[in-house]
Structure 1
């Protein structure tokens, strides 16, 4: 493993700040408290309640973003100063339901209520998170926005962090010094709208027709419209299905490749088309038209919704070098998608994409707590840089860096669990000195993870009756029955076993 650098041994960590009281921030707080090694754990939350993005809001400013939107620092200058913030506007929409079954989505120490549907509504998730946060609520500074986190050093040369925040109700400035910071502000703030040929001019000619999915709230706003949805990840698929029930024509779902989220009901809901390569300027008898890669031209388009994702954005870290964000496609200089390599007293939980965030946040929090309490030690700085370079060679230096598709996400969860178990034992902790542990997915959970796009499709196909469904077995997905009939050479069984056997190399 090698010697850790002078800033990686966790020595002297006593005061910790957590930025964000969403599910990730609250989860981290619980594990840090359970470690019984830190004197102060403060949570900064700019809203007036817990839940993060699960607090639905109207998209007033999100409707005003420029088209295209390719600036990862949108709304902030190079020094982090704010000109137009989107931080308070959630990417949720009115009829959003989770795309993950509640049994898989839940924190391991708090299941969703039995009477909730298999895929709970966003309102149910917010209720769940408010209950989950009860025992750390006293540590949360609500309506307090972090403006700047600046590195400092004490006499020993260890990293310290000077945090500046603003109490939004009184405009009072708050200044505190911490030994470590958890960055749990999420990555659904700054929308990305690609610069497709002609899109800027098209938007000027037809203002208000193009929007990002962050500004979408309800299908009734597009009653009888011809709509194109660009992007077929979870939000794109879900929005297309919702709109298809109201649109004048089948919703055109434009994408470059097949979706990783499986197949949702088709028929009158939508028509899958290839990617848009040009937004056409007005001509005689051709208005509001686009051209697809296939050559097809669609005209008289009433709305275009870009479900094309978000940039990574940490404007309050503008004084941290090397820069965590450059092009916004990933968080730079991170080890195991979690610790800053140059500043290991900065942690970035759940920056991965295509993952199950709640259980992942638990297992990452368990590792962070053990590293910062010195029960686990990180490898040397050079080894951590080698890890980052290996990922770059494998996935590239852009948007795929943090991508964790199944089965990699399952392996990540179980690998983190195994890593946390390697920590030294300590008197005073629960579990015979092991401390608070997250989750170790068993075969049934891994199998559910491999099937959940199909489970969601079957659930959606049930119409209004779906709200009566509580388990995947009610939809015909029975793990025990599948296992009893599975061939030992079944490829899926091999993949699942591989997930279960994966453990951290550290």
Structure 2
């Protein structure tokens, strides 16, 4: 498939790990007159920019991709403040040699599972060559193409100018890459009574996005909902300080290091009873005097700047209100009705930094016409095939559990190879070798051993 117009300018939304990798790939092509990255924060790093700030979870429940958490303005700093899902004692759950970019290695003296501050420093080192291409303090409000063959309009606001209302700007581009991640809009299920409970006991229902310090749970009875990485990690941290920790789960812990005698696994919450301050579980058990419930239930995909592409009545909408997946996308990247709109970083349970380089390399080569897309009917058929493989649950569409992620990486790698080496400044992502496969396979075992060692020494 060819584009009706030659792509000469590309906007990248987000200067996190995915956006930075994509921008590098685009610039290396030497085929574009303008590559510009729009970042709402005042520095690169995306979710890895930790500032310890937190607040009561603003949306309880939170079940719609059409919702948007309000932007918080800081009068002292005179700019917008954004909240990261990072927390005080977070460290990676992937070894550094697995998660690193292709041509930038983590320092040898760092732990195998680096703390968040070292990861941020690493990302910002990677970002240095891109400084002139990044527009900071730019919260993108609208991305829209008014005419089929025309340019995309990017409208954004800079709150550091003309504070507090900010100054709004608009620019036009031939193509847009969305790399805003999927850790922004919390998912909190609409359990019976949850809204009334949250209203009666303000701050008692939280999402992991707004968790920071486990010492805040000192002497409290805590329910952690979820048994994936954040649910296991936060429940173990809470156990160091809380009076009692329950972990509400639908099955056994998804992380092999989740078992701990200080944490009691219980079934799913069926109902909140705010008048009696009780929580009913699906097995009929009642939890009394619960102080805090922390939802570690993941996030919804959200594209607040693409409102005109979120109409559920439109068969070509890219995101439905359920927020569980992107629709009409080829290989989890290209918007099939108009591939000049693309996405980086939609897949979950993957190795994010090198995957972003691989996806970015594909997008850059397609936009420079060194790689071609299939025709629209073939791309739609491929999406149908991926839907069939993923199964009936929309939430599983972008889910790549090892070794499924490696099959995806290698498919993209083969596609990149088709372009050949025709560029002196060729951007080459990590090669997905058998050695990296083995490293990926060992990562959970290494993390489990580390957590168990800390538990034995009383650090968790």
| TM-score calculated relative to the size of structure 1 | 0.82
| Matching of residue 309 in structure 1 with residue 302 in structure 2 | no
Aligned residue among 360, 375, 389 for 1:365: 360
Taking the TM superposition and a 5 Å limit, the aligned residue runs for 1:37-56 are: 37-56=31-50
Instruction: Provide closer, same or farther for how the CA distance between residues 246 and 271 of structure 1 changes in structure 2, counting only shifts above 3 A.
Output: same
The reply to whether residue 276 of structure 1 matches residue 276 of structure 2 is no
Partner Cα distance (2:288, 2:14) in 1: 43
Conservation of the 8 A alpha-carbon contact between 2:54 and 2:212? no
Partner of 1:260: 254
Distance 1:9 1:325 in 2: 23
Residue 116 of structure 2 is aligned to residue 122 of structure 1 = yes
Q: Report the Cα distance in structure 1 between the residues aligned to 2:184 and 2:53, rounded to whole angstroms.
A: 12
2:256 is the alignment partner of 1:240? no
Cα distance, 1:465 vs structure 2: 11
Q: Is the 8 Å Cα contact of residues 159 and 343 (structure 1) preserved in structure 2?
A: no
Specify the SS of the correspondent of 2:308.
coil
- Alignment-derived partner of residue 457 in structure 1: 448
Query: How do 1:28-67 and structure 2 match up within 5 A?
Result: 28-60=22-54, 63-67=56-60
Q: Following superposition, which runs of at least 4 residues in structure 1 exceed 6 angstroms of deviation?
A: 82-87
How far did residue 391 of structure 1 move?
2.2
* Structure 2 match to 1:422: 418
C-alpha deviations, 1:117-145, integer Å up to 9, x for none? 11111111110011000111111111111
Inter-partner Cα distance in structure 2 for 1:41 and 1:83: 27
Distance in 2 between residues matched to 1:259 and 1:198, nearest whole Å:
26
- CA apart distance, 1:298: 1.7
The alpha-carbon distance between structure 1 residues 58 and 74, as it changes in their structure 2 partners (threshold 3 A), is farther
With over 3 angstroms needed to count, the CA separation of the structure-2 counterparts of 1:407 and 1:87, relative to structure 1, is farther
1:95-494 matches, within 5 Å, as: 95-153=89-147, 158-170=149-161, 171-249=166-244, 251-264=245-258, 266-268=260-262, 270-283=263-276, 288-320=277-309, 322-326=316-320, 327-394=322-389, 395-396=391-392, 398-426=394-422, 428-430=423-425, 435-463=426-454
Aligned pairs, number: 440
Give the superposition deviation at 1:424.
4.5
Distance 1:112 1:27, change over 3 A: same
Aligned with 2:195: secondary structure? Answer: helix
Shift of 1:449: 1.7
Q: Is the 8 A contact 2:72 2:82 kept in 1?
A: no
Q: Paired residue for 1:495? A: none
In structure 2, the CA distance between the partners of 1:84 and 1:398, relative to structure 1 (3 Å rule), is farther
Partners of 1:460 and 1:172 in 2: how far apart? 48
Q: Which runs of 5+ in 2 are unaligned?
A: 74-79
Deviates more, 1:406-415 or 1:444-453: 444-453
1:452/1:87 Cα in 2 relative to 1: closer, same or farther (>3 Å)?
farther
Aligned CA RMSD, in angstroms, stands at: 2.2
Structure 1 spans left out of the alignment, 5+ residues: 77-81, 467-506
SS of alignment partner, residue 193 of structure 1: coil
Please tell me whether Structure 1 or Structure 2 has the larger radius of gyration of its CA atoms: 1
Q: Hey, what's the Cα distance between the residues in 2 that align with 1:446 and 1:257?
A: 28
Note closer, same or farther for the CA distance 1:464–1:111 as it changes in structure 2 (3 Å cut). Answer: farther
Q: Does the CA-based 8 Å contact 1:161-1:180 persist in structure 2?
A: yes
1:73-99 Cα deviation digits (max 9, x unpaired): 2237xxxxx777998211111111011
The 3-state SS of whatever aligns with 2:305 is helix
- 1:16 alignment partner, one of 10, 25, 37: 10
